[in-house]
Amino acid sequence: MKELPNYYLTLFNAVTNALEALERGDAEIAKLLLQQGQQAAEEEFLSQTC
């Protein structure tokens, strides 16, 4: 099996953490986690392609 890129794992972990925050009823934290995960994944992707 091919190894997944780090940016995918970063985003997947952010989604998992955001879902946990939503289960606790904390939508603002979920939103922040998703935004941070998106930014981190984008930075990782760009550092690999440039």
pLDDT in tens for each of the 50 residues of the chain?
789 999 999 999 999 999 999 999 999 999 999 999 999 999 999 998 87
Q: For position 39, what pLDDT does the model report?
A: 98
| Helical axes 6-23 vs 27-49, angle rounded to 10° | 180
CA distances from 29 to 7, 37, 39 (A): 21, 12, 15
pLDDT for 40 equals 98
